[in-house]
Amino acid sequence: MAKNNIASVLAFEKKLVPSDGFMYGTTWAKRLENEATSPLKLQEKSVRGTISNRLKAAIKNDPLKLNAEVEKPNLQRVDSCALGTDQDTLKLHFTLKVLSGVEQPSACNNKEFNETYSQAARQYIEAEGFTELAKRYASNIANARFLWRNRVGTENIEVHVKVLNGESGQKWTFDAGSFSTRNFDSTNADVEALSKEIAKALSGEADFLLLEINAYAQIGGAQDVYPSEELVLDKSNSKGGKSKILYHVNDVAAMHSQKIGNALRTIDTWYPEHDEINVGPIAIEPYGAVTNLGTAYRNPKAKADFFTLFDRFACGETLDDKNDEHYVMAVLVRGGVFGASGKD
C-alpha cells in the first residue's frame, strides 16, 4: 500500500493515565500509619546566590567591574520543599489508569487506512498480548523510577501497589532498590503478576485497570524533596518575580502527572544507539527525544523514528524486528496526533 494512503488526520488517546503525584512526609517506622503522615507544603525562600555564570569579557578583564559584579547581591526568591524535622521518609501517592482500545484511533479520516491499521494492531495484540510492554511498565512501577530526583541517595524505597477496581483487591509490595532502572531483565513473580494485570487491560481482556500506588522513600531527616517545577509563560515583565515555582495542588506539594507518565514509559531500549552509548532506557517518544539531553535518538535519517516505522506497520508490512513493533505500539499507548498532514 502506498504511503499517500496514510490518514491525514490521525490521533490516539493515551492509554496510561496517571494522576498527579502528591507528596507527604512521614517516618520510615510509621510509614503505613495515616496519623503519622502529613502533606508537604511549599516554602518560599530568599536565597543569596553567588555569581557563578560565565561573565562577559568586558567585565572579566576589568578588576573593578569584576569586583562590583561579584559582590552584587544576587537575591532570588524560590520555592522549596522539605520533610519536617521529625520526618525521614517521603510518601508519594498517585493513581494509574490503564485503558484498552489501542487498535482504535480516536480520530482517523481514512477508512481503508483505519482497517489495515486496526488489523495490524489486532495481530500484534493477539501475538504479543502486550506482555513485553506491560512487563516494562510494571518494572518502572516496582523500581520507583517515577520518583525521579527523589530516588537519588535514599536508604530504602518501598512501593505499594493496589488494584482499586473490580473485586480482586490484589496488592503487591516492592523493594525498589532490588530492581534495576537500567534494564528490564528481572524475573520477579510480583512484577509478573502486576504486568499480567496491565497487559490484560491494554489488550482489552479487562475493561480497565485502576491502580493505587504509594511509594515510600527514606531520604533522611528534614531532607529536601523535589516536586515538579512549574513552567510559567510569564508575560508580566515584572522584576523581582520568583525564579522557581514549584507545583502544588490544594496546598500539597505535587509532581505533574506528565512527569510520572514520562517515567512509566521510559522503556525504550530498542533505539539504534542503545548498545553503544551508556544512556540506558529512554522515554517512548516519536523521535526518541530526551529533553534533558537535548537529543533525539530516533532521528528520521536513521529510519528508526516512529513515523517511518508506523507507516510500514500500519499498512500491513511486517517489521524486520519485533522490537520495532513493541516501540510502535508503545508510542500509540502514549498517544498523540500522528496524521500525515500534521507531521513535524
- Contact residues toward another protein (CB under 8 A) are 8-11, 13, 17, 19-20, 95, 97, 99, 107-110, 165, 207-208, 210, 230-236, 238, 240-242, 245, 249-250, 256-258, 285-287, 289-291, 293-296, 299-300, 305, 337, 339, 341-342, 344
CB proximity list for 60: less than 8 A, separation 6 or greater:
66
Kindly state the smallest distance separating residue 164's Cβ from another protein, in Å. Answer: 9
Kindly state the smallest distance separating residue 268's Cβ from another protein, in Å. Answer: 13
Are 260 and 213 in contact, with CB atoms under 8 Å apart? Answer: no
Q: Is the dihedral of CA 18, 19, 20, 21 positive or negative?
A: negative
Which residue, 174 or 327, has its beta carbon nearer to another protein?
A: 327
Choose among 76, 78, 59: nearest CA to 68.
Answer: 59
Which residue, 65 or 256, has its beta carbon nearer to another protein?
A: 256
C-alpha cell at 299: 532521528
Kindly state the smallest distance separating residue 152's Cβ from another protein, in Å. Answer: 21
Phi then psi for residue 256, to 5 deg, are: -60, 145
Which residue, 98 or 329, has its beta carbon nearer to another protein?
A: 98
Strand (E) or helix (H) holding 79? strand 74-80
Kindly state the smallest distance separating residue 106's Cβ from another protein, in Å. Answer: 9
SS3 readout for 291-321:
HHHCEECCCHHHCCCHHHHHHHHHCCCCCCC
Which residue, 110 or 195, has its beta carbon nearer to another protein?
A: 110
Which residue, 146 or 174, has its beta carbon nearer to another protein?
A: 146
Task: Please tell me the distance from the alpha carbon of residue 344 to that of residue 325, in angstroms, as a whole number.
Answer: 22
Which residue, 64 or 233, has its beta carbon nearer to another protein?
A: 233
221: Cα separation from own chain's centroid? 27
Which residue, 67 or 258, has its beta carbon nearer to another protein?
A: 258
Kindly state the smallest distance separating residue 65's Cβ from another protein, in Å. Answer: 29
Choose among 142, 179, 156: nearest CA to 28.
Answer: 156
Measured CA angle at 213 (ends 95, 104), to 5 deg: 45
Kindly state the smallest distance separating residue 239's Cβ from another protein, in Å. Answer: 9
Kindly state the smallest distance separating residue 41's Cβ from another protein, in Å. Answer: 14
CB proximity list for 318: less than 8 A, separation 6 or greater:
none
